[in-house]
Structure 1
């Protein structure tokens, strides 16, 4: 483990004249210490320890960027992220196996009700930190883009349309050279938030062709399946005629679909995905600081791309383990910061969340309640920099 920033500052402060900056050189002078005085460095300002998160594979590229940037500021924080999928991520978090979860869908009311034991008697909250389009990606030699409506996409993934030269696809793409090749749809085998968002979009916009209610598990028994985002995209890369759905950041070197929005075909972009979130309402009657959205899948404006996922950090309102709680507070602040969002956008092509969302998430992080042991051995609590929020008194505070 690297020497902590706290240790380096203490060592520098106690080394006396040996570390004083030379006259005329840049640097920050440390305060002088009298005999026996401790350096005025607050250990609460630093995050130390090993921490684990688990969840959405859609966030994997962004998470690597966030962890790297956070560890630059907190070199004694060791962070492991398991991209096990949204469903397993929520399950691990609710079982108390991880400091935070990551999910492409918000916790259900039932999952919220189960969060008390993992959250020291408090509750879980959803914080939207990652907004990204879902791309429908395919492998056709010489074809980089296709126009498809949600009805055509649904019929392809249900097996009603089986060839790339089907008249309905040709009619929507008169200039494309479509081969007489069998279509091979590939779906996720794991419990996936991307699957649930994809199904939600199809069910909202093409209910006759996709009658299945949104769910993290693929609703049909047939078809090719692969585990995780990388599993489905790698399968399509090796399968001529293959097609899948995935976080857009993982679909490089594949052809991509422009989806029909209103009367126009709209290619995916981070900006068009973010536009959907901007016009979507929050879920009502959630815990205070929960920021879950009901996405407007039926928007018909060409500036929007409604096949979008909003991926959440799932954290607790209370932490009994102060080190874990301190880490979560600081990590959430970093992920939602301008620097954190720009790192994710560069690494994953995601949309930068709005300043309003950044501020709301910062408020939620500040309100996280850390339990501490009092000198008399009793358990007390402390909400860093802020009194305990309304959620402790009224757990079903209005959104």
Structure 2
């Protein structure tokens, strides 16, 4: 398994708020059947305010529910208002930690460090496979290379029956209909990762780089992951990108994607995990910023994945706040917490990665 260090060492904004009540009380605080409860010793009281990535909303909802069922005197508020908003809130001191589908940028890191008065840590917590979703009547099982996707989302391919699409989908019933390419209207780590994939694998056809804000001309914007899923579900001849759990929740068609080995690969938790296993750590010390190889030639690997991070202070000015954040993240980074993800349309962290994240969480104070 490749997992190395480089650098110096090598739409709809829904707030998920749950007030936790005393463990063992007579109210409805018992874990639901089948829920992965926090391990002994991870429960810490206190109030945590967090915001950011909408892609990790479904994971957060389940984690908060399980933590609420077992822990005492805690309150966790997670507002999935987008990765860009979460990072800005952290830098402004308006949230205790941020969820983001991208690690802090070079210009954001020192700002976050200054606000924390300690190094801000990028901790990958969720493997969020990005599904290329579409709504084309009668065209099941479509597959795409990065080159074709780059041409679609840059407006170079405008019809579903374009020869480039037909060549990759022999026998598919492709209509003579205009493609409506849908992208995130708000700043999004999902957009950052999707455009990074295009820029790394289809450089000749994608000249817009990568960023949280959509840079290519044309297309239709939709807010948040829920908004993307709803738009594709309701609108024929559309195509977009969204985290897998939202695609599954809306029963959307997800395309197979050609990987670096030349295989058209179906998106599953296992195929996405193979790509994360090949990631390189760019951060130093307890910072676990990842560099993902979108051209990985690993057999069976699905190439469009993101690591959804929790961005935290390594040392909080309020020690009780630091312990509360640490307690919750001990659960999310535990084997029990990660086991919840596979049923939600995410991929659990590979064990070697999970163990490193758990060690970094243990150092938060």
Question: In structure 2, which of residues 87, 91, 115 is the aligned counterpart of residue 118 of structure 1?
Answer: 115
In the TM superposition, what is the alpha-carbon distance from 1:222 to its structure 2 partner? 2.0
Aligned residue for 1:230? 226
- Residues 1:273 and 2:279 are matched in the alignment: no
Question: In structure 1, which of residues 296, 299, 315 is the aligned counterpart of residue 312 of structure 2?
Answer: 315
Write the distance in 2 (CA, Å) between the matches of 1:250 and 1:2: 27
Write the distance in 1 (CA, Å) between the matches of 2:276 and 2:103: 14
Aligned-partner SS, 1:311: strand
Aligned residue for 2:263? 264
- Residues 1:4 and 2:1 are matched in the alignment: no
Residues 134, 3 of structure 1: CA spacing in aligned structure 2 closer, same or farther, 3 A cutoff? closer
In the TM superposition, what is the alpha-carbon distance from 1:326 to its structure 2 partner? 1.2
Aligned-partner SS, 1:115: helix
Check conservation: 2:51, 2:80, Cα contact below 8 A. Answer: yes
Write the distance in 1 (CA, Å) between the matches of 2:183 and 2:103: 21
Check conservation: 2:275, 2:298, Cα contact below 8 A. Answer: no
- Residues 1:158 and 2:154 are matched in the alignment: yes
Residues 168, 117 of structure 1: CA spacing in aligned structure 2 closer, same or farther, 3 A cutoff? closer
Write the distance in 2 (CA, Å) between the matches of 1:123 and 1:203: 30
Please give the residue correspondences for 1:300-379 in structure 2 after superposition, counting only pairs within 5 Å: 300-346=297-343, 348-369=344-365
In the TM superposition, what is the alpha-carbon distance from 1:116 to its structure 2 partner? 3.2
Check conservation: 1:184, 1:242, Cα contact below 8 A. Answer: yes
Check conservation: 1:132, 1:274, Cα contact below 8 A. Answer: no
Residue by residue over 1:74-126, the C-alpha shift from the partner in whole angstroms, topping out at 9 and shown as x without a partner, is 2421111111111111111121111111111111232221123432x212101
Check conservation: 1:61, 1:344, Cα contact below 8 A. Answer: no
Aligned-partner SS, 1:209: coil
Aligned residue for 1:38? none
Write the distance in 2 (CA, Å) between the matches of 1:86 and 1:367: 24
Q: TM-score, normalised to structure 1's length? A: 0.79
Residue by residue over 1:237-276, the C-alpha shift from the partner in whole angstroms, topping out at 9 and shown as x without a partner, is 1110011001011113222211112322111111111111
Write the distance in 2 (CA, Å) between the matches of 1:165 and 1:3: 57
Structure 1: any 5+ residue segments left out of the alignment?
9-43, 370-399
Write the distance in 1 (CA, Å) between the matches of 2:302 and 2:22: 44
Relative contact order, higher structure (CA 8 A, sep 6+): 2
Aligned residue for 2:4? none
Residues 359, 183 of structure 1: CA spacing in aligned structure 2 closer, same or farther, 3 A cutoff? same
In the TM superposition, what is the alpha-carbon distance from 1:359 to its structure 2 partner? 2.1
In the TM superposition, what is the alpha-carbon distance from 1:158 to its structure 2 partner? 1.1
Check conservation: 1:47, 1:323, Cα contact below 8 A. Answer: no
Question: In structure 2, which of residues 128, 135, 149 is the aligned counterpart of residue 132 of structure 1?
Answer: 128
In the TM superposition, what is the alpha-carbon distance from 1:194 to its structure 2 partner? 0.5
Aligned residue for 1:27? none
Check conservation: 2:278, 2:296, Cα contact below 8 A. Answer: no
In the TM superposition, what is the alpha-carbon distance from 1:215 to its structure 2 partner? 0.5
Aligned-partner SS, 1:217: coil
Aligned-partner SS, 1:175: coil
Aligned residue for 2:7? none
Aligned residue for 2:6? none
- Residues 1:241 and 2:237 are matched in the alignment: yes
Residue by residue over 1:24-64, the C-alpha shift from the partner in whole angstroms, topping out at 9 and shown as x without a partner, is xxxxxxxxxxxxxxxxxxxx975333321111111011110
Aligned residues: 330
Write the distance in 2 (CA, Å) between the matches of 1:3 and 1:82: 21
